Structure 1
Amino acid sequence: MKRILVPTDFSEHAEHALKVAAIIAKKNNCEIFLLHLLELPNQMNDAVTGGSSIPEVMLFIKKANETLQKIKEQPYLNGISVNASVQFERAFSGILSFNKKNEIDLIIMGSHGTSGIEEVLIGSNTEKVVRLSEIPVLVIKKNIRDFKFNNFVFASDFSKETKKPFKKMIEFAKIFNANLYLVMICTPNSFKTTKMSEEIMKKFIDSFEVENYSTHIYNDVNIENGIINFTNSIDADLIGLCTHGRTGFAHFFNGSISEDLVNHTVKPVITFKI
């Protein structure tokens, strides 16, 4: 992992994400890409694509670049290579297209973590990026002065399709030498006996070379509550999940678990695409 993208709307939540990116970048010698997206009215878009220099557009660009320059000068970014750019595009589509052009390895985004409406970017762009991104997305909910990954929860059903993202999760955990807590959540709607759950997890983990891990089975009324309650019970630093990219946010879990957790837990959440 060498390239980290941090989209910013210049809010405090975007700054929280950038501070975490700085910590990760210093530990892993990464380059940070800071991206501000301008979504202009149609007539201004026409002017931009037509090559015109109307005063309103030039003012937006000038102010955005000035703010980005001030951000780059923050002390917590000292010693880190930071590339800043302004792009005219819708937030979530602009983030995804930027990834492909610049071979980004990780996206770090800020979020209020309270509801789908109160997002760091307009509308539900954080959830859209989580759903559609081909690369891992780390969502930060609050200011974390000393970000660490001592205890990393990975919640899964440990099916075959989660093996590929699980490899990415292992690589990420190794950066911080984290203790991995692999947990299967059992609910009334997805009940498995303890013996069955243990067998599934053992068969899954035996195909990987993993250190510093433990397996757990946790019962709760639903999967989202189970993940949050288990995470809090061990005072974990981070929650890891797998996601599908299908329309409607279909997951190997029932419902929209990753999206719900992005909104409802104060813990950082990292998602890995299946």
Structure 2
Amino acid sequence: MKNILVPTDFSDQAENALKVAGQLARKYNCEIYLLHILEIPLQEIDALSSYSNLPEAVYFMKLAHKQFEELKTNDYLTGLTIHETVQFHEIFKGVFHICKKHDIDLVIMGSNGVSGLKEMLIGSNTEKVVRTSETPVLVVKNEHKTFKVNDFVFASDFKDESKATYKKAIDLANMLQAKMHLLMVNTPNKFMTSARSEDRMKKFVEAFNFSNYTINIYNDISIEKGIMNFSQSIKADLIGMSTHGRQGISHFFNGSISEDLVNHAKRPVITFKI
């Protein structure tokens, strides 16, 4: 891991993510890319002019760079290589472009979660990035004075399509020197016997040269609750899972377990795009 992206709106939640990025960057000799998105209403933009000609854009860009300079004076970033960018894209488009341009290995974002009608209608910026990012996204809810991962839950249905994301999870576990706890959640609507579940999981892991894991089958009323309750039972430090990145009407009807976890889990969550 060489490059970490931290999108920021300069909130406390975003700073929690930056503090984690600082710890990882220092430990693994990474560079940090800070991204701030300016959302200028499209109706204010003349198609023949540039953003730099807009007084509002110039003002907010200068303000963002001033806030970047203040951020970089914090002790937890001392001595690290920090790059800063201000863009006018939507958040998920900005993240996509920066990840491609700078070969980003990990996106770290802060979130305080949303719920109810707000969640249904507009979601959160973090949710949008989780849904669309090709790069793994680590979502941090709280301040971590020491970000240490000893126990890492990887939840999956352990079908072949998840093998590529499992490989990414293994690489992360090896880097963090964490123990993986492979988890399949059984629900009343999608029930599978323990014997069949265990057989599927064992066949899934056969292709990988990795042994620092446990196999776990957990019964609960929903996959989301099962993941959170199991993680609580072992006091996991990190929850990981794959995301299909559904969009549009498919996303509305099917929902997304990874996005639900991002909103509701108290523990850090990392998602890997299938």
Instruction: Give 1:75-224 correspondences, 5 Å limit.
Output: 75-115=75-115, 123-224=123-224
Preserved contact between residue 117 and residue 123 of structure 1 (Cα < 8 Å) = no
Q: Residue in 2 aligned with 1:10?
A: 10
Across the aligned residues of Structure 1 and Structure 2, the Cα RMSD in angstroms comes to 2.1
**Offset of 1:261 from its aligned partner?**
0.6
Preserved contact between residue 112 and residue 118 of structure 1 (Cα < 8 Å) = no
Structure 2 residue matching 1:267: 3-state secondary structure: coil
Identity %: 56
**Offset of 1:41 from its aligned partner?**
2.5
Structure 1 Cα separation of the partners of residues 243 and 52 of structure 2: 42
**Offset of 1:40 from its aligned partner?**
1.1
Q: Residue in 2 aligned with 1:243?
A: 243
Q: Residue in 1 aligned with 2:56?
A: 56
Structure 1 residue matching 2:189: 3-state secondary structure: helix
Query: What TM-score, normalized by structure 1, do the two folds share?
Result: 0.92
Partner letter of residue 96 of structure 2?
L
After superposition, the Cα gap between the structure-2 partners of 1:70 and 1:118, relative to the gap in structure 1 and judged at 3 Å, is farther
Structure 2 Cα separation of the partners of residues 160 and 86 of structure 1: 39
Structure 1 Cα separation of the partners of residues 246 and 114 of structure 2: 24
After superposition, the Cα gap between the structure-2 partners of 1:117 and 1:88, relative to the gap in structure 1 and judged at 3 Å, is farther
Structure 2 Cα separation of the partners of residues 114 and 266 of structure 1: 12
How many residues align? The count is 270
Preserved contact between residue 113 and residue 266 of structure 1 (Cα < 8 Å) = no
After superposition, the Cα gap between the structure-2 partners of 1:75 and 1:45, relative to the gap in structure 1 and judged at 3 Å, is farther
Q: Residue in 2 aligned with 1:268?
A: 268
After superposition, the Cα gap between the structure-2 partners of 1:265 and 1:48, relative to the gap in structure 1 and judged at 3 Å, is farther
Structure 1 residue matching 2:6: 3-state secondary structure: strand
Is 1:225 aligned to residue 225 of structure 2?
Answer: yes
After superposition, the Cα gap between the structure-2 partners of 1:199 and 1:51, relative to the gap in structure 1 and judged at 3 Å, is closer
After superposition, the Cα gap between the structure-2 partners of 1:63 and 1:141, relative to the gap in structure 1 and judged at 3 Å, is same
After superposition, the Cα gap between the structure-2 partners of 1:109 and 1:149, relative to the gap in structure 1 and judged at 3 Å, is same
Structure 2 Cα separation of the partners of residues 142 and 154 of structure 1: 20
Preserved contact between residue 243 and residue 256 of structure 2 (Cα < 8 Å) = no
* Structure 2 runs not aligned, ≥5 long: none
* Structure 1 runs not aligned, ≥5 long: none
**Offset of 1:144 from its aligned partner?**
1.2
**Offset of 1:60 from its aligned partner?**
1.1
Preserved contact between residue 249 and residue 256 of structure 1 (Cα < 8 Å) = no
Q: Which moved more, 1:107-116 or 1:27-36?
A: 107-116
Structure 2 Cα separation of the partners of residues 195 and 222 of structure 1: 20
